[in-house]
Structure 1
Amino acid sequence: MASRLGRRTRRVLVFVHVVVSLGWMGAGAANVVLAATALTSPLGLAHACYVLIDRIDLWLVIPGAFGALGTGIALGLLTPWGLARHWWVLVKLVLTVGVILFSTLAVGVWVLESIEATAAGMAHPGPLAAPLVWGGATNLVAFLLMTWASVAKPWGTTPWTRRPTRRRTGATASVPAVS
């Protein structure tokens, strides 16, 4: 199957995908370091770490996540890799959506609650300090798995891969082979 993109356009799209994906992973790693610092620091520094995590989420993590998702979907739809033809592409898509949902519904909420708790001077470390570290580390493991899958392209094709149909000509289909 031919690519629906020209070679130069495809390379630019792959480049943008790699850049935003690595930026997303790097920002996630920075947030893990900040969460671990908050866990082991005095209240004032912990509060500053949580505020920084929130800002990194706003300016780097969220745009990186949706940039990676958007460029990944575009590459899947516009190249022969497809979105559900190869397991490695499908796994990356599912992990990307999973990390976005987990980061939004769990980690993001924990960050906001940690900012509120440390601003109010509540006991530190709070009950969400360790989950923030582990949640961020879990996301990093997912990023590393996605990166490995991009390079190794493991697991073959999915059952939904369209197989090329064979053309049968009347002469070859009806005449038995002679030895």
Structure 2
Amino acid sequence: MTATSTASTIAATRAPADARVIRLRLPTRVRKLVLLTHIAAAGVWLGIDLVMGILVLTALGADPTGAGAAAASLAAVATWPLVVVGVVTLVSGVLLGLGSKYGLVRYWWVLVKLVINIVLVTLVVLVLWPGMASLGVAGRTALASGDSPVVGAMLVFPPVVSSTAVVVAMTLSVFKPWSRVRRSR
């Protein structure tokens, strides 16, 4: 067997594996716009988490009027705005992964960021959102009656966990640790 035929055999065996890789060719301006959207959405996500943390602390420790207003506001901030920025971050991240050399599951840091995003959006929809409706009602009722709303101390964890995870994802984007994901042959 000659070197040329060996090279063509290797290329032929790798072709089907390479054909399965989905890759978008994003023009430079589009890629930069998607990257800007991704960074801005992650920044907004972190900002909403910080606002949520302040509102939770206010709802737990303020006077009855402040606690009621914080609880009612928390119900508005922690629902659809958080889901929207999470989905925008997810979609823009997937587009960047498919349109860049890093891929979606080619590098561990990208895969970890993808998992963090999916887990956080899922937690917001399935865990946080259902409790926020009753918290909003409790906040508005407390405002009307002048009493403090009943706010569980467990509400401290969602903004802490979410903001920590978003900062970890941002750190992964900057430092790009770890090597490529190894694929079995």
Normalised by the size of structure 1, how large is the TM-score?
Answer: 0.79
Which residue of structure 1 lines up, in the alignment, with residue 27 of structure 2?
Answer: 6
1:44, 1:118 within 8 Å by CA — same for their partners in 2? no
CA deviations on 1:150-176 (whole Å, 9 max, x unpaired) are: 1011111112399xxxxxxxxxxxxxx
Pairing 1:66-85 to 2, within 5 Å after superposition: 66-85=87-106
- Give the aligned partner of residue 153 of structure 1: 176
- Partner amino acid for 1:73? V
Q: Is 1:60 the counterpart of 2:81 in the alignment?
A: yes
Give the aligned partner of residue 106 of structure 1: 127
3-state SS of the aligned residue for 1:151? helix
Secondary structure, aligned partner of 1:20: helix
Give matches, 1:12-31, under 5 Å: 12-31=33-52
Q: 2:60 aligns with which of 32, 39, 50?
A: 39
TM alignment of 1:123-138, pairs within 5 A? 124=148, 126=150, 128-138=151-161
Q: Take 1:148 and 1:84, find their aligned partners in 2: how far apart are those partners?
A: 18
Shift of 1:120: 4.3
Is residue 39–residue 130 contact of structure 1 (8 Å, CA) maintained in 2? yes
CA distance, structure 2, for counterparts of residue 100 and residue 47 of structure 1: 26
Task: Looking at secondary structure, tell me which structure has more helix per residue.
Answer: 2
Q: Which of residues 140, 161, 171 in structure 1 aligns to 2:163?
A: 140
Distance 1:44 1:135 in 2: 23
How far is 1:129 from its partner?
Answer: 2.8
Per-residue Cα deviation, 1:22-72 (whole angstroms, up to 9, x for no partner) = 111111111111111111023332221122122223563222111101100
CA distance in 2, matches of 1:80, 1:68: 19
Q: Is the 8 A contact 2:72 2:139 kept in 1?
A: no
Aligned pair count? Answer: 161
Amino acid in the other structure paired with 2:174: V
Q: Classify the secondary structure of the residue corresponding to 2:71.
A: helix
Give the AA of the match of 2:31: R
Q: Distance in 1 between matches of 2:24 and 2:184?
A: 16
User: CA RMSD for the aligned pairs?
Assistant: 2.5
Q: Secondary structure at the match of 1:19?
A: helix
Which 5+ residue runs of structure 2 have no aligned equivalent? 1-17
TM-superposed deviation, 1:114: 1.9
1:174 corresponds in structure 2 to none
Structure 2 distance, partners of 1:37, 1:161, is 52
Distance in 2 (CA, whole Å) between partners of 1:58 and 1:136 is: 13
8 Å CA contact retained: 1:3, 1:80: no
- What corresponds to 2:10 in structure 1? none
In 2: Cα distance, 1:73 partner to 1:19 partner: 15
Please tell me whether the aligned partners of residues 60 and 153 of structure 2 are also in contact (alpha carbons under 8 angstroms). yes
Query: Residue 91 of structure 1: which of 92, 99, 112 is its match?
Result: 112
**8 A contact 1:92–1:146 mirrored in 2:** yes
Q: Quick one: percent identity of the two aligned structures?
A: 27
